[in-house]
Structure 1
Amino acid sequence: MKNIPITCEKCFLDFQEALEELHEMVISVKGTEIDERNQKRIIRSFEITHELALKTMGEYFRKMGRKLPDGPRDTTVEAFNEDLIDDGKTWLDMIIERIKYGPLYPENPQKNLAQNVTQKYIRLFLNFERKMKGLME
């Protein structure tokens, strides 16, 4: 079976679809207490959106003829340096929070992560989408 090369444009379209789904979820829970079921849905959607954002950044660097950064932290730092994203510290916080959400930590940060997605991270994704849209045109 032949592998189809992934393009920056395709990654960006996938990111936009995931972001739209996440944004709809965030809007639907705005102003309410987020129950456990919705927390899980928001976090799952957030993780997909974040992965696709990182993949889009990496493919953008490849398209520019640059070496791909190693790992999510380096990709985030490089994207901040290239002005693809704003608020680099909060983007790095996303990575840390995703790690803490994993099975290595005994605490349950689910509620805190869902709140951060709805209050902070969604804005960063929307800003990234706006900047990438400008670069793709």
Structure 2
Amino acid sequence: NYKKALSQLEKFIAQYHNLNELEKQGLIQSFEYTYELAWKNIKDFYENQGEINIQGSKDAFRLAFNRHLINNGEQWMQMMEDRNLTTHSYDETISNNIIQNIYQNYIHLFRYLKKALENIENN
């Protein structure tokens, strides 16, 4: 569930400045999981509206941005690139850059998406 994944990621974010190496790996895994659920929720949302051409996260994020479900399309594209780099999380420089981006940018994008989906559910 996207909300649960985001909640778990937020727990890591709350401890951002005090994370040890193992917890940093946990934060990256939590980010990966939240990312996957984010784009799949977007895909499901638009498929329920008849959109059938969403092949992956790039398609999902572009459509969501063009339809104003998400904001800041460039950061979502950067997030997608960082997600692809998480397979190299053994590289400390890459890992630390991704963690910083999660803390400074991506958590806000995930929260915005959560609110947007909740607003749609409630209307």
Q: Which residue of 2 aligns with 1:84?
A: 69
Paired residues in the alignment total 121
Q: How far off its partner does 1:68 sit? A: 3.9
Q: In the TM superposition, what is the alpha-carbon distance from 1:99 to its structure 2 partner? A: 1.4
Q: Which residue identity does 2:49 align to in structure 1?
A: M
Q: What amino acid is aligned across from residue 62 of structure 1 in structure 2?
A: E
Q: Which residue of 1 aligns with 2:60?
A: 75
**What SS is found at the alignment partner of 2:68?**
coil
Q: Kindly indicate whether residue 4 of structure 2 is the aligned counterpart of residue 17 of structure 1.
A: yes
- What residue identity is the alignment partner of 1:22? L
Is the contact made by 1:58 and 1:68 (CA closer than 8 Å) also made in structure 2? no
Unpaired segments of 5 or more residues in structure 1?
1-13
Cα RMSD for the two superposed structures? 1.7
**Greater share of residues in helix:** 2
- Normalized against structure 1, the TM-score is what? 0.81
TM-score, normalised relative to structure 2: 0.90
* Shift, 1:98, TM fit: 1.5
Mark the structure with the bigger radius of gyration. Answer: 1
Alpha-carbon shift at residue 82 of structure 1 (Å): 1.1
Structure 2, unpaired ranges of 5+:
none
Q: Does 1:93 align with 2:96?
A: no
Identity of aligned residues (%): 27
